[in-house]
Amino acid sequence: MTPVNQRNLANQQPSVLRLVACGGFLAASLLATGCQVSMNGQTLPSPNYLTDDVQYFAPGPSFKLAREAAAMKAAVGQADIDAQP
C-alpha cells in the first residue's frame, strides 16, 4: 500500500473515542427515557410502580359551591325580611 491509501483507510475507520462517545450517548438516552412504554394504545408502567409512593387525595364535597349557595340563600332571606312592611 502506498502512504496515500493508508491515510484514506485510517480516515474511514472510526476512532475509539468516537465509539466510546456514541456508546455513552446511547446508554444515556436509554437511561433517560425510562421504562414506561406505550404499546397498542396502553401506557405500561415502569418496573418500579410497586415501590412508588402513592399520593392520596381525600374526596371533597360533592357540591363544591356550598358556601356560595349558603351566602346566596342568606342574602335572599335577608332581602325578603327587608321587603316586608
Rg (CA), the chain: 35
- Residue 79 domain-assigned (yes or no): no
Residue 18, in any domain of the structure: yes
Give me the helices (H) in the chain, please. Answer: 3-12, 16-33, 66-83
Task: Give the CA dihedral 73, 77, 83, 85, nearest 10 degrees.
Answer: 170
Domain count of the chain? 1
What is the pTM assigned to this prediction? 0.30
Q: CB under 8 Å to 47, separation ≥6 — which residues?
A: 35
Is residue 45's pLDDT more than 60?
Answer: yes
Gap between the Cα atoms of 33 and 52, Å rounded: 18
Let me know if residue 81 belongs to a domain: no
Question: Is residue 9 domain-resident?
Answer: yes
Which domain covers residue 5, as residue numbers?
A: 1-37
In a domain, 77, yes or no: no
Whole-number pLDDT of residue 73: 94
Instruction: Provide the grid cell at 62.
Output: 360533592
Residue 73 inside a domain? The answer is no
Residue 55 lies in a domain: no
Q: Is residue 27 part of a domain?
A: yes
Check residue 17 and give its pLDDT.
Answer: 83
| pLDDT beyond 90 at 59 | no
